[in-house]
């Protein structure tokens, strides 16, 4: 069995009648970094909260490493570390006390050396005797992560880990996520910053209006849905696209000085090489060219647009 989390048929309807999740089926593979993408209010946090035991689901079942989250909640929950979106810490506790508290709460025996290592890894060791209230926002975020890692989880949920976080901390966090993955920890992150998913994830799931609309390996997704563009800077402006090139989807811009060719990665359209040959044949000369892949963000936006 390779999936560490298995979600099947999970729904959530709030007391207000709002359907936050409609029939979610999702498997998370052991050791992967999975990015759950979706706009605000799509149901990302609700889904995570259900898996972590914070919110009761309306129906369906979830197992974590084979343990049912209701029947076997102790075994299931002790495998999971959660870093929620909001900075919610008891402000009057010291860093040291609150991280050790988290470890105890998850039933792990005290281990000062381990807690020290977690704090050092997150550059919090110097602050260990400070109260949480005195920490900066970035430090508080690190503290939330330290709490989640204090009990040596095998699965780590990062809910919008870099929302409102500065560049330096963001890079530190990405480095930490990669380190954890090398140790075999499975990581699930939600985000609406697509660059984050693009930089880190192995697989991407897109959720919208309480439904998973797609789950794909990131590379396949980019290959399948990604578009490429080649831009040619022309030596002399063209008034119109020459007849010999009509079979290519070309666009002229910047007063006829730039020619753009858009193609998807998987289509059977004639390739770049033949276009260049045909350009030469048509007597069109260019000064420079560059190509670019569409980003996950563009894919994401186009996916959401397709949704009715």
Q: Which residues bind another protein (CB under 8 A)?
A: 14-15, 49, 52-56, 71-78, 80, 82, 84, 86, 88-93, 97, 100-109, 147
Q: How far is the CB of 1 from another protein (least distance, A)?
A: 20
Pairing of strands 80-83, 3-13: unpaired
Provide the 3-class DSSP secondary structure of residue 253. Answer: strand
Which residue, 77 or 218, has its beta carbon nearer to another protein?
A: 77
**Shortest Cβ distance from residue 143 to another protein (Å)?**
11
What span, in angstroms and rounded, lies between the C-alpha atoms of 125 and 128? 5
**Minimum distance of another protein from residue 24's CB (angstroms):** 18
> Residue 140 Cβ, how far from another protein at the closest point, in Å?
12
Between 97 and 163, CB nearer to another protein: 97
Nearer to another protein, 78 or 257 (CB): 78
User: Which residues, at least 6 apart from 140, have a Cβ–Cβ distance to it below 8 Å?
Assistant: 87, 89, 132
Calculate helix-pair angle for 137-149, 167-182, nearest 10 degrees.
10
Hey, what are 277's tokens? 């040959």
Q: Shortest distance, CB of residue 93 to another protein, whole angstroms?
A: 7
- Burial status of residue 266 (CB atoms within 10 A of its CB: 0-12, 13-18, 19 or more): exposed
Q: Which is nearer to another protein, 104 or 137 (CB)?
A: 104
Nearer to another protein, 113 or 273 (CB): 113
> What distance lies between CA 297 and its chain's CA centroid?
11
């Amino acid at each position: 069995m390779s999936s560490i989390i298995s979600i099947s048929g999970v729904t959530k309807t709030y007391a207000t009648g709002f359907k936050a999740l409609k029939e979610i089926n999702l498997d998370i593979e052991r050791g992967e970094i999975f990015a759950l993408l979706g706009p605000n209010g799509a149901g990302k946090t609700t889904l995570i909260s259900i898996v972590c035991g914070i919110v009761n689901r309306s129906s369906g079942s979830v197992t974590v490493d084979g343990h049912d989250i209701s029947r076997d909640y102790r075994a299931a929950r002790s495998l999971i570390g959660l870093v929620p979106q909001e900075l919610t810490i008891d402000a009057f506790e010291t860093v040291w006390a609150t991280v050790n508290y988290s470890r105890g709460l998850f039933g792990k025996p005290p281990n000062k050396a381990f807690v020290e290592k977690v704090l050092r890894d997150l550059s919090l060791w110097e602050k260990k005797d400070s109260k949480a209230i005195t920490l900066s926002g970035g430090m508080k975020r690190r503290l939330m992560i330290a709490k989640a890692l204090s009990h040596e989880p095998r699965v780590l949920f990062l809910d919008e880990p870099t929302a409102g976080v500065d560049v330096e901390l963001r890079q530190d966090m990405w480095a930490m996520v990669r380190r954890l993955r090398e140790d075999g920890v499975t990581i699930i992150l939600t985000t609406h910053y697509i660059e984050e998913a693009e930089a880190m994830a192995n697989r991407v799931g897109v959720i919208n209006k309480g439904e998973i609309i797609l789950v794909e390996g990131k590379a396949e997704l980019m290959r399948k849905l990604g578009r490429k563009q080649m831009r040619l800077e022309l030596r002399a402006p063209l008034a119109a696209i020459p007849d010999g090139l009509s079979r290519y989807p070309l666009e002229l811009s910047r007063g006829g000085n730039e020619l753009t060719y858009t193609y998807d990665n998987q289509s059977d359209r004639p390739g770049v090489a033949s276009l260049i040959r045909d350009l030469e044949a048509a007597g069109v000369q260019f000064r420079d060219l560059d190509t670019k892949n569409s980003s996950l963000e563009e894919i994401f936006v186009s996916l959401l647009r397709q949704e009715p």
